[in-house]
Amino acid sequence: MEYTNLGRTGVRVSRLCLGTMNFGPVTEEPDAHAIMDSAHGHGINFFDTANVYGWGENRGRTEEILGNWFSTGGGRREKTVLATKVYGSMGDWPNQDKLSALNIRRACEASLRRLRTDYIDLYQFHHVDRSTPWEEIWQACEVLVSQGKVLYFGSSNFAGWHIADAQAKAAQRHFLGLVSEQSIYNLARREVELEVLPACEHYGLGVIPWSPLQSGLLGGVLRKQREGKRRVSGQAAARLDAIRDQLGAYEDFCERLGQEPAEIALAWLLHQPAVTAPIIGPRTAEQLDGALHALEIALSTDELSELDKIFPGYRTAPEHYAW
């Protein structure tokens, strides 16, 4: 396993991050425990979750599954750089969502209970809160750090200017501020290259891409459809129709390389200089093993250029659209 620093911090994380969103809704707890054990066995030390995972009436269930796994001992918690999130609604009563100081305090305490731990390594804002000033957010975060309940803070789904604003307010308080940003980023969704990635590089934030396979579309969906192994519906079907020709060229490219499309998609992200660790969300141990192969794939300059031709990206703003 390869490791890298999380942004400008001294903490080192694996180049793949284990996403746990499927734990509970899709993957039963014993299988989730087996996947996490296998992840540790392969050297993955970076796990990502959120307080709302489990969804609906089962919000918090995923954190409970991780907490139960940590409680079995064996150094599981100590070996894990644990990331969770706050923002999403955890109930129908006021102040059970977003980033007020009140909700940050209550949500953190609740996550700690479900996770059966006394601290969170990386506490992430799941979305920007346009109704709460950064002075209030950072004050609440400073308290959590002083109490030893959180070590680092990160953002998710932020625009570039949100990151700049957050860091400016943190600097005024002599506070570390954000150390990571979790954004949708993959071959088919490269909008963050305009301003988010440049902001992250400027301020020293690690980038943690979610949906690296674009809801499975970059995982060989056309071939799987031909083989009768995959059905696509809803928004994914509309997106598939919009980029069908690109996906066909992409799958042909992967076939020429003799590699699985899902693994090439992950390998491409690992070649991007701003990326710390793509989030993989295996539903089974077999899917985890496949994702690990991406670490062994070295794409040449010509191969990266060919991928750029299939899925054109963005130059840094404003040069992308101006001089």
Q: Which residues are catalytic?
A: 53
Beta strands in the chain (DSSP E): 3-5, 12-14, 17-19, 46-48, 81-86, 120-125, 150-156, 178-182, 206-207, 279-280
The tokens describing 268, both together, are 């491409």
Which burial class, exposed, middle or buried, applies to 27 when counting CB atoms under 10 A from its CB (0-12, 13-18, 19+)? Answer: buried
Collapsing DSSP states into helix, strand and coil, what is residue 85? strand
Contacts with 205 (C-beta within 8 Å, 6 or more apart), sequence order: 7, 8, 154, 155, 163, 178, 179, 180, 181, 199
* CB neighbours of residue 73 within 10 Å: 9
Whether residue 181 contacts residue 205, with contact meaning beta carbons closer than 8 Å, is answered with: yes
Q: For residue 212, is the peptide bond before it cis, meaning its omega torsion is within 30 degrees of 0?
A: no
Which of 225, 162, 234 has the alpha carbon at shortest distance from 199? Answer: 162
Instruction: Identify the helix (H) or strand (E) that includes residue 250.
Output: helix 244-257
Whether residue 225 contacts residue 248, with contact meaning beta carbons closer than 8 Å, is answered with: no
- Which value, in Å, is the radius of gyration of the alpha carbons in the chain? 20
What is the biggest distance separating any 2 CA atoms in the chain, rounded to whole angstroms? 58
Whether residue 199 contacts residue 160, with contact meaning beta carbons closer than 8 Å, is answered with: yes
